[in-house]
Amino acid sequence: MKVLISVDIEGVAGVMSPEQTRAGNGEYERARRWMTLEANAAIEGAFAGGATDVWVNDSHGGFRNLLPDMLDARANVVLGKPRTLGMMAGLEYAPQLVFMIGYHAMAQSRGILAHTINSFAFSRVTMNGRDVGEAGLYGALAAEYGARVVLLSGDDVFAQETRASFPEAVFVVTKNATGYGSGVTQTPERACDAIKEAAKDVVARLERRAVAQRVTPQPVDIELRVQTTALADLFAQMPSLERVDGVTLRCSAPSVEHAVRTLNCLSAMSFMLR
């Protein structure tokens, strides 16, 4: 049984402010430790449930936040960028199950630190006419590779908006949002205990039934609303994108992977205008 664990930081217990997500200050150093502890809890739970191989993917910012020397030595740690599959790097190793730990609500929602991929650039992303956040996008990518998303953690808004996409998955709510930068959180210890137990239970339950089998990719339509017309001007230089109005672009992609890679390229391009 192979498990891929994708770990973000905004949904981690105790994380409430942008400073905690950005390198270069003491608040971030504390938050990245909490992120690492939640990753470790998921790793330990997966192995306790019967996993034979675990990859843990650092999925925040520059993908260099986790502290490898704190992680369970049995895990493989995926760090750094650029990488083709972004927050789902590790799918190349054919995991049957995927965990999304420390994830957050989509842009324009009321979740804590809510955004989609790049808060500076993107204000809304739809796939085949449906609003999606990072979990929706990367969960669809995992499905193309034959992997199932079975465990997710984050705030209550994230759980509410994402549950319909993964109706059979287990959600661990680590905090309740009262605003973009406020909420009621569990302690890191309590959140880690809950994640560890959920990971153990879900792997044990699915160990003999989970089979990774890649599916034939299907075309998807992506519509992207950006924060400014200047960003739309920049992104419209890509010939695969159609300009809809001042701040909206769309494209048709032959697969979810193609769509995700396009969005990540646009995110990287946006740094020209920062």
**Residue-number span of the structural domain to which 196 is assigned:** 2-116+130-206
* Nearest-angstrom CA–CA distance, 217 and 145: 9
CATH of the domain at 90: 3.40.50.10780
- Residue 64 domain flag: yes
Give the number of domains in the chain. 2
CA distances from 92 to 132, 142, 161, 214 (A): 23, 10, 28, 11
Map tokens 């400014």 to a residue: 228
- Residue 92 domain flag: yes
**CA 63 to centroid of chain Cα atoms:** 12
Single-letter residue type at 101: I
| Whether residue 147 sits in one domain with residue 240 | no
| Whether residue 148 sits in one domain with residue 231 | no
| Whether residue 257 sits in one domain with residue 136 | no
* Nearest-angstrom CA–CA distance, 206 and 201: 9
pLDDT at 213 (0 to 100): 74
Determine which helix (DSSP H) or strand (DSSP E) holds 148, and give its type and residue range: strand 148-155
Which of these, 47, 85, 29, lies nearest to 260 by C-alpha position? Answer: 85
pLDDT in tens, the chain (274 residues): 999 999 999 999 999 999 999 999 999 999 999 999 999 999 999 999 999 999 999 999 999 999 999 999 999 999 999 999 999 999 999 999 999 999 999 999 999 999 999 999 999 999 999 999 999 999 999 999 999 999 999 999 999 999 999 999 999 999 999 999 999 999 999 999 999 999 999 999 997 766 667 889 999 999 999 999 999 999 999 999 999 999 999 999 999 999 999 999 999 999 999 8
pLDDT at 210 (0 to 100): 64
**Tokens coding 235:** 């992104």
pLDDT per position as a tens digit, 207-237 = 776 666 788 999 999 999 999 999 999 999 9
Map tokens 């979990």 to a residue: 135
